[in-house]
Structure 1
């Protein structure tokens, strides 16, 4: 197995996350719809999670995203890739490959985030809001992953350039 080909487990986990995302979105919309009341509850619940039980996940999930972003950012720097979001817009194959790589890398962190939010919702709300669980996973895992990957790629690129120059 090379760095470019993810394991069978990683690919399966990625597909589970993609399917789970679609299911959670469909369930959330079908159960609660989308109205002003739902919108207001959604944002008040999201910001209400900052305090209270299980606040450690606000540190755990971004830390897990950093650990997932480290090898990918270093690999980007070694291969001379541009930052993840600035991939050549003309080369669709490169965009798909980079997106697939990001999905594979974040799959475990997303599953962790969704499961932690399900536990939180069960303890605090005694209800399940699927879209909120998905949104928290995106806010605490996926977005930090891409930010950390960019930062790691920049730092590793700088370090590798200094090393090649003999400084």
Structure 2
């Protein structure tokens, strides 16, 4: 039964690219990535490690990091759930919970988590988190 649900869910997910409401396959990941870029830049400015690495390797900050994800991407996730439920009712005349959760996760959470980590790494590499210290008058006088 589980295997059948997984197969049906995957086939329905792939089939949704060209069907009604296909715009959400672009809009929802784009919105999630927007929030991820914003959060990733903030992580780099605060010299925090990339999101997924910190979440996996540091259990003490896992709860706080999970809360940040739901703060940033929660609305997009709920919108993905609602749009997919509407799609399923019109196309399949019912709601399949596993497909609903899978689609919302793939369209909202996965792009957010992956993009946030990449943005943090690139921004840190580019020097976003480094502070530039300007020389003071005392420094100039000691050099003479």
Asked if these proteins are the same fold (TM beyond 0.5), I'd say yes
Asked whether 1:102 is paired with 2:80, we answer no
Determine helix, strand or coil for the equivalent of 2:128.
helix
Q: Are the structure 2 counterparts of residues 90 and 121 from structure 1 closer, same or farther at C-alpha, using a change threshold of 3 Å?
A: closer
| Aligned pair partner of 2:79 in 107, 112, 133 | 112
Select 1:151's aligned residue among 94, 113, 118: 118
Question: Matches of 1:89 and 1:114 in 2, distance apart?
Answer: 26
Q: Which residue in 1 is equivalent to 2:54?
A: 87
* Partner residue in 1 for 2:3: 36
d(CA) in 2 for partners of 1:121, 1:89: 34
Q: Is the 8 A contact 2:55 2:65 kept in 1?
A: no
User: What is the RMSD computed on CA atoms of the aligned residues?
Assistant: 2.3
- TM-score w.r.t. length of structure 2: 0.81
Trace 1:69-88 onto structure 2 (pairs within 5 A): 69-87=36-54
- The Cα shift of 1:60 comes to 0.5
Q: CA deviation at 1:95?
A: 2.4
**Residue 140 (structure 1) aligned to one of 102, 107, 112:** 107
Structure 1 residue 143 displacement after superposition: 0.2
TM-score of the superposed pair, with normalisation by structure 1: 0.70
| Runs of 5+ unmatched residues, structure 2 | 135-144
Distance in 1 between residues matched to 2:88 and 2:109, nearest whole Å? 20
Query: Which structure's CA Rg is the greater one?
Result: 2
1:160 is aligned to: 128
SS of the aligned residue for 2:89 comes to: helix
